[in-house]
């Protein structure tokens, strides 16, 4: 069997670990041949391939990013895109695809599976917002990077008696902000699921200064004020899947806090730092297990499935289940953490 492998959407630590696991087990135990598709769905759409075997996978386990490259190409947004993918797979002799990605990449995989393309999905996203799986790889690394940044910012905030606002990634889900904020001892964590009251945030700031402690505010890029707020949060740009580009909440929030409290406030935007670099041990472990199970699913002809972590077990769920809805922070989970804020 000839198997194509692609990585789509935003890069994240652990992608190379999946590729390595898929290829090594596929070659050694199943006798498969592999084709690497470059730059996400753009690869099978345009026939962009690279050699992919055991040799190409040596030494990539600790590397961040993806040796296959990535993009946010949406074949369903291109006239004749699906037929082009099918034709290119057939001409390359590719029998099945392993698609590694998040909401958008696996959303395409779900629709292709419904059109009889033999595809298996592996969930990745630093946002940890895919339903069907307890955790996605990349999330743990992003949280650790954000937590380390918060740890470092505490000392400079205290030295200068400043408010520091740390903007982390999270378009619709606040998992990175919530986990890193709790782990880093933030004064407040603002997430997309729970619109924030700027007056309450300022009250948290004042309380912290009263105890001679400089506050750290952690905010997801997609956080919004309560209805009636006037903060500008997004630019007008959209990607191929219709997502607007978020940004600016950290700077705007810092300016509002400084204006309302009279305390000096600065914003730190972590941005793509959260995506890059060496994956944590947990993410290498999870990504490797996902890859091993994914190639077994291909060998067994169990297409249209996504690998999922359930407790400590890797299970297969329908792709449609994994992409049915976003996994968001519940009001109960947020309320539980609130005891540490303020």
More confident residue, 242 or 314: 314
**Model confidence over 58-78: pLDDT tens digits?**
999 999 999 999 999 999 999
**Model confidence over 8-34: pLDDT tens digits?**
999 999 999 999 999 999 999 999 999
The pLDDT of residue 254 is: 95
The pLDDT of residue 232 is: 46
Range name among 19-23, 51-55, 135-139, 229-233 with the lowest pLDDT average: 229-233
**Model confidence over 121-180: pLDDT tens digits?**
999 999 999 999 999 999 999 999 999 999 999 999 888 889 999 999 998 999 999 999
The pLDDT of residue 333 is: 93
> What's the 3-state SS for the chain?
CEEEEEECCCCCCCHHHHHHHHHHHHHHCCCCEEEEECCCCHHHHHCCEEECCCHHHCCCCCCCCCCCCCCCCCHHHCCCHHHHHHHHHHHCCCCEEEEEECHHHHHHHHHHHHCCCCEEEEEECCCCCECCCCCCECHHHHHHHHHHHHHHHHHHHHHHCCEEEEEECCCCCCHHHHHHHHHHCCCEEECCCCCECHHHHHHHHHHHHHCCCCCEEEEECCCCECCCCCCCCEEEEECCCCCEEECCHHHHHHHHHHHHHCCCEEEEECHHHHCCCCCCHHHHHHHHHHHHHHHHHHHCCCCCEEEEEECCEEEEEEHHHHCCCECCCCHHHHHHHHHHCC
Active-site residue set: 127
pLDDT at 238 over 80: no
């Amino acid at each position: 069997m000839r198997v194509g492998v692609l990585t789509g959407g935003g890069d994240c630590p652990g992608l190379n670990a999946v590729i390595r696991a898929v290829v090594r087990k596929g070659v050694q135990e199943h006798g498969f041949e592999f084709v690497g598709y470059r730059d996400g769905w753009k690869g099978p759409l345009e026939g962009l391939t690279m050699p992919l075997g055991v040799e190409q996978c040596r030494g990539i386990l600790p590397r961040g990013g993806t040796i296959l490259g990535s993009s946010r190409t949406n074949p369903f947004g291109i006239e004749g895109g699906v037929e082009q993918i099918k034709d290119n797979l057939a001409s390359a002799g590719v029998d099945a695809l392993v698609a590694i990605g998040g909401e958008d990449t696996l959303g395409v995989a779900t629709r292709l599976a419904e059109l009889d393309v033999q595809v298996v999905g592996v969930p990745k996203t630093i946002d940890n917002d895919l339903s069907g799986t307890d955790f996605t790889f990349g999330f743990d690394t992003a949280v650790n990077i954000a937590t380390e940044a918060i740890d470092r910012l505490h000392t400079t905030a205290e030295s200068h008696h400043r408010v520091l606002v740390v903007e982390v990634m999270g378009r619709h889900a606040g998992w990175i902000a919530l986990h890193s904020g709790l782990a880093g001892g933030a004064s407040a964590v603002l997430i997309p699921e729970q619109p924030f009251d700027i007056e309450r945030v300022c009250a948290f700031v004042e309380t912290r200064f009263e105890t001679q402690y400089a506050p750290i505010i952690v905010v997801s890029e997609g956080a919004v004020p309560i209805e009636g707020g006037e903060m500008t949060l997004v630019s007008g740009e959209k990607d191929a899947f219709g997502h607007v580009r978020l940004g600016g909440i950290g700077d705007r929030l810092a300016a509002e806090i400084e204006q309302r409290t009279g305390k000096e406030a600065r914003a730190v935007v972590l941005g793509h730092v959260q995506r890059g670099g060496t994956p944590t041990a947990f993410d290498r472990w999870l990504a490797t297990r996902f890859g091993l199970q994914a190639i077994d699913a291909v060998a067994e002809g169990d297409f249209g499935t996504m690998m999922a972590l359930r407790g400590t077990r890797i299970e297969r769920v329908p792709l449609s289940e994994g992409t049915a809805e976003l996994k968001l922070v519940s009001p109960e989970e947020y309320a539980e953490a609130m005891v540490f804020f303020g």
